[in-house]
Amino acid sequence: MNVNEAKKLVMNGLDLHEINSGVYSGEWIAAEGRKTIESICPINGQALGSVTQGEDQDYEKVVAAAEKAYKEWSALPAPRRGEIVGEIGAELLKNKELLGMLITLEVGKTVSEGAGEIQEAIDIANFAVGLSRQLYGLTIASERPEHRLMEQWHPLGVIGVITSFNFPAAVWAWNALIAAVVGNITVWKPSSSALLTAVAVSRIANRVVERNGLPPIFLLACGSGRTIGDHLVNDKRVPLISFTGSTGVGRSVAEQTSARFGRSILELGGNNCAIVTAEADIDLALKGVAFGAMATAGQRCTSTRRVLIHRSIYDDFVKKLKDVYCRVNIGSPLDPSVIVGPLVDKNAVDNFTATIRQSEKQGGHVIQGGKVMKMNGCFVSPAMIEISKQKGIVLEETFAPILFIMKYDTMEEAVQIHNAVPQGLSSAIFSTDMRETEYFISHAGSDCGIVNVNTSTAGAEIGGAFGGEKETGGGRESGSDAWKYYARRQTVTVNYGNDIPLSQGVVFPV
Ligand code: UN1
């Protein structure tokens, strides 16, 4: 299929137009008088459609609607909220192919990865349905007679969700669908590089809400960081901001929200490393490293950016990995034989080139790829760069398919190098020796939020909590008990006796 055929299919199938409203406050604001942003297809550099941008007054309307909706939504029993989220999951499933292809067209993922991202949103919807009947609190044995002590979890209210281009649907779903079953309303500010996906997903979710006669719980506010983003981050009516993006912007989001005693969930940069030991299953490790480094053209937070290889297998492994890189088809992600599509935009291509130049200046040796392809669109050949020392640009995250390759001698040394970066999102070890793998997942091993044994740094399931340490920001989203971030914990003491005994044995004879 070519881009034009796919575009026709997707725009008709999802009812997207040349200009689409990007603000939903219970109704879609009219486009008139507002700026629009074109969504550019990175495969051929052409416009797919445009989305209107929210202004200050639109933001006010959205938050006022959110506050109003919160009263009604939070009063519904959680399992009823779960049913609504379940219906949204079913609608996403119905539209999986079209939405996946929209992601392909808008950000350049392969068809399989585009569909996989929608599957990730469906998975979280299903998880959220179950969760809606499992929002458990504890009861605690009281030290006082005839007293009950317990913990309960209430919704927070209006939550701001700021997402990045690389998972334009799934990360919204992680946040919005979990937040919804807990009883919250979300205001979504999507990346300006993936606006059509945000509009399409929001419309599907909101149609479900509307047909159930409920108030708007999934609000959308497309717009610039400076208008919508800044408003959200500084708005006292928004007690929690979930932010996915760069460490630089995340730091400022954290500072601004905490200055007003708001909370933030931060999912920031990664610098993920795979260790390939002398005991690795080589074929498996090759596949795991190749997927981690090249899937989504290296534009996942979880992408493998460094690989540490044991000296005894180094030459052999690097040669085999190079062969894999040489075999990889780069081109239109609509072509089923292609596994590396374009970068998201020209800026990303410039960053790719600049990182490679800088690493060469700092002693790096490009042994494969690293070129901008002579094609329309934003295509590059994934780079393998040998380095002897981990320094300079290697310590930063570049959102592009660049893999830094190093050798090591001992496991202790491998772990030391592995952890010696500012970020701490995902990690992997490839080994069949349980002493090595257990060491790596022990407290003395990987310092990341996510650790993988014999599988890639990328491609986490939704069931676990997702997030990382250090400059990755410390947030957790998605599965496990990450729902607690979207709730306030309340400790309840109930005295059902006729006396009022005091805790800690205090006597107060009034
Ligand atoms: C991200 O890159 O922000 O683990 C999210 C993965 C995906 C999610 C990535 N499930 O690679």
**What span, in angstroms and rounded, lies between the C-alpha atoms of 190 and 172?**
8
Output the CA 302–ligand 1 centroid distance in Å: 6
Residue 32 has pLDDT above 90, yes or no: no
Tell me, what DSSP letter sits at residue 336? T
Which residues line ligand 1 at a C-beta cut-off of 6 Å? 120, 166-167, 171, 244, 300-302, 458-460
With cut-offs at 50, 70 and 90, classify the pLDDT of residue 33.
Answer: confident
Q: Give the pLDDT confidence score for residue 385 in this predicted structure.
A: 98
Task: Output b/e per residue, 229-265; b: 16+ Cβ within 10 A.
Answer: bbbbbebeebbbbbbbbebebbeebbebbeeeebbbb
**What span, in angstroms and rounded, lies between the C-alpha atoms of 56 and 47?**
26
Residue 102 has pLDDT above 90, yes or no: yes
CA-wise closest residue to 198 among 189, 207, 206: 189
Residue 221 has pLDDT above 90, yes or no: yes
Positions annotated as catalytic residues are 267, 301
**What span, in angstroms and rounded, lies between the C-alpha atoms of 67 and 62?**
9
What tens digit of pLDDT does each residue of 283-340 get? 999 999 999 999 999 999 999 999 999 999 999 999 999 999 999 999 999 999 999 9
What tens digit of pLDDT does each residue of 145-173 get? 999 999 999 999 999 999 999 999 999 99
Q: Where in the chain is the domain with CATH 3.40.605.10?
A: 3-268+473-489
Residue 197 in contact with residue 106, Cβ under 8 Å?
Answer: yes
Q: How many helices (H) and strands (E) does the chain have?
A: 14, 23
Ligand 1 pocket, mutate which of 109, 118, 167 (most atoms under 8 A from CB): 167
pTM of the full structure: 0.97
Averaged pLDDT, 39-44: 97
Averaged pLDDT, 13-41: 95
Q: Where in the chain is the domain with CATH 3.40.309.10?
A: 272-463
DSSP states of 232-272: HHH-TT--EEEEES-HHHHHHHHHHHHHTT-EEEEE----E
Please state the CATH superfamily assignment of the domain spanning residues 3-268+473-489 in this structure. Answer: Aldehyde Dehydrogenase; Chain A, domain 1 (3.40.605.10)
What tens digit of pLDDT does each residue of 366-394 get? 999 999 999 999 999 999 999 999 999 99
Q: Over the chain, what is the mean pLDDT?
A: 97
With cut-offs at 50, 70 and 90, classify the pLDDT of residue 474.
Answer: very high
With cut-offs at 50, 70 and 90, classify the pLDDT of residue 31.
Answer: confident
Averaged pLDDT, 101-125: 98
Ligand 1 pocket, mutate which of 166, 300, 303, 426 (most atoms under 8 A from CB): 300
What tens digit of pLDDT does each residue of 177-192 get? 999 999 999 999 999 9
Domain boundaries 272-463, CATH class: alpha beta
The percent of residues in the chain predicted with pLDDT above 90, rounded, is: 99
Averaged pLDDT, 480-490: 98
CA-wise closest residue to 26 among 76, 74, 75, 66: 66
Ligand 1 pocket, mutate which of 301, 457, 461 (most atoms under 8 A from CB): 301
What tens digit of pLDDT does each residue of 399-410 get? 999 999 999 999
Q: Which two tokens stand for residue 487?
A: 């709730």
Other C-beta atoms closer than 10 Å to the C-beta of 87 total 18
DSSP states of 358-403: HHHHTT-EEEE---B-SSSSS-B--EEEE-SS--GGGGS--SSSEE
Averaged pLDDT, 7-27: 97
Q: Which atom of ligand 1 is nearest to the CA of 450?
A: 4
Output the CA 167–ligand 1 centroid distance in Å: 7
Output the CA 377–ligand 1 centroid distance in Å: 24
Output the CA 117–ligand 1 centroid distance in Å: 9
